[in-house]
Amino acid sequence: MCPTPAVDNLYKLRHSLAHVLAQAVTKLWPGTLITIGPPIDTGCYYDFLFSTPIAESDFPTIEKEMKKIIYQAQTFRCDTLKVSAAKKYWKEHEQRFKVELIEDLVKNDGVETVTHYANIGPKGEDTFVDLCRGGHVESFKEIPVDCFKIMSIAGAYWRGDEKREQLTRIYLAAFPTKAELDAHLAMLEEAKRRDHRKVGKELDLFTFSELVGSGLPLWTPRGTMLRHLLDQYVWELRSAKGYERVTIPHITKKELYETSGHWQKFANELFHVTTREGHEFAMKPMNCPHHTQIYACQQRSYRDLPQRYAETTTCYRDEQTGELHGLSRVRGFTQDDAHVFCRHIHVKDEILAIWEIVDTFYATVGFGKLRVRLSLHDPAAPEKYLGTPEMWKKAEASLRSIAVDRKADFSESVGEAAFYGPKVDFITKDSIGREWQVATIQLDINMPERFNLFCIDEKGSEERIVMVHAAIMGSLERFLSIYIEHMAGLFPLWLAPVQAAIIPVAETHESYAAEIEAELKKQGMRVVVLPHTDSLGKRIREGETQKIPYLLVVGDKEMEAASVAVRNVKTKKQVVVTMKEFTEKCREDIAQRSLEGSIG
């Protein structure tokens, strides 16, 4: 009797389609080696080792074969085999990856039996067999033939090891109905239009250089302005809560990370630097160990606490080239990092203060209500974490209590904690419905122990302190990859790198355009003039393409009335206002960090 996994119907649909995909591929390309094919959030994938490459042009052929299999109303049969019999089966079928998987199950889990799931054809024959734990539909009749689509192929190393075989991964989108699939495909098309790599290039925000290296973005003046304005706002919110700025170097001795525990966990992800004298250093992948040394540089009384340090600085991680993606996965990333060194009695107030900053920031920049995830440790894998079970239990209970008191919409996720403490992770949904984890608050119960951080309490004794880590945007690069796509590059006036473009109708109006430019710059606005050398229509389209919030068209009437014809790029509406009215409304919108412009 095969065990039946406790999975939902969507999981069963997607898992079954992975088997259908594998059956179709092995029929069309006999001799193909099969590996794994799990369900994922939007469908499933399967990894193959082909003897000859396949391409996107093969997708229709595979889909046609998959539909043919589904129309046959095949079913599944589960067989439980002893390990020796299963290994013999896969060796006879020359599927060495399956043999390796079984050997790993024996080594890691001590299994004595495994399960095979066979696709049963219309004549009762085995049409495909896979090593599988189960979770499938009863019959392929339950699978609508119009609910899936092959999306892409990609390279994937076997077991994620770049020294092993490079496989071909086929991704499949799958949903319960055609309408849901169509909605997903429409969302993907919209995502392509908003892709931050495309929009960033169009708006001249950032670039990459082969001479500098993959995953190391270079920010243009416009992109740097956007980063600065966001970071300055975060600092404004933090400053009001009593934070102070600190500055640390970009490299450190190996010993700092050995003490913190990062070296043991992440040595392979660090950029290593060896000095001429043979000393081993690393480019910093995070800032918290450095900040502990600022706290520890002098003895602290309980009266000195909390100590709140904030810094926006670049960190470095040696990501694999194949994992790099625009700004969302880079090797050099900038964190708006902060650490609070405090007593246990301060923890709740400090976390609530950070929580308030997070809510204020994300509401201001245009995200909806944030969902909260309490990221907890996995008690079944204590080797992944620092500290004792008692320390973790106390820290997690503290975060849970704070979330309850705040009446937060929160869920709990076991195994998602940092290796040194549990987290409050904030989840947002962008304008096309995708969810992203953004800000985070981490309660660190281990770093103070490892660095022997304490304060002198009221009785003159040493009292162990705690650390609270806080990132509002987190990685500025990753945040901006999300935000550019969320806004489709059309930023609110206060954030727009260029806030207004002045468009003189003809050469005779350029002197007036220059007067307007000088006045607006005097008011602190970021403006450009699009001169008359191109047609009026082309210049308006250029301003719209650059997502400049306001296009100020000036001709004879505007010159006579000391006014401007304001075209709101977001609403496409055009109104004529005096220069005084325009500047006053802009000043008010910028000061209030309004999401919507009040003109047009």
> Does residue 337 have an active-site annotation?
yes
Per annotation, catalytic residue among 227, 284, 290, 317? 317
Task: Centre a 10 Å sphere on the Cβ of residue 25 and count the other Cβ atoms it contains.
Answer: 24
> Does residue 288 have an active-site annotation?
yes
Closest listed residue to residue 465, CA positions, set 569, 342, 594: 342
H helix runs in 29-122, sequence order: 59-71, 83-92, 96-109
Per annotation, catalytic residue among 23, 335, 442, 546? 335
> Does residue 2 have an active-site annotation?
no
User: In whole angstroms, how large is the CA radius of gyration of the chain?
Assistant: 29
Angle value at C-alpha 319, between 318 and 325, nearest 5 degrees: 140
> Does residue 335 have an active-site annotation?
yes
Instruction: Indicate the burial class of 23 (C-beta count within 10 angstroms; 0-12, 13-18, 19 or more).
Output: buried
Per annotation, catalytic residue among 12, 15, 87, 423? 423
Per annotation, catalytic residue among 136, 308, 331, 469? 469
CA dist., res. 430 & res. 377, Å (int):
28
CA 595 to chain centre: 23
Residue 549: DSSP 8-state:
S
> Does residue 423 have an active-site annotation?
yes
Angle value at C-alpha 208, between 202 and 214, nearest 5 degrees: 140
CA dist., res. 284 & res. 314, Å (int):
8
Angle value at C-alpha 587, between 583 and 591, nearest 5 degrees: 175
Per-residue tokens: 274: 């060896």
Residue matched to tokens 């919030």: 549
Closest listed residue to residue 160, CA positions, set 14, 29, 43, 35: 35
Per annotation, catalytic residue among 98, 339, 509, 539? 339
CA distance from start to end of the chain: 69
For residue 455, list its beta bridge partners.
Answer: 463
Per annotation, catalytic residue among 132, 288, 455, 586? 288
Per-residue tokens: 130: 């896979």
**CA dihedral of residues 453, 459, 461, 464 (deg, nearest 10):** -30
Per annotation, catalytic residue among 47, 130, 336, 337? 337
Residues with a known catalytic role: 288, 317, 335, 337, 339, 423, 469
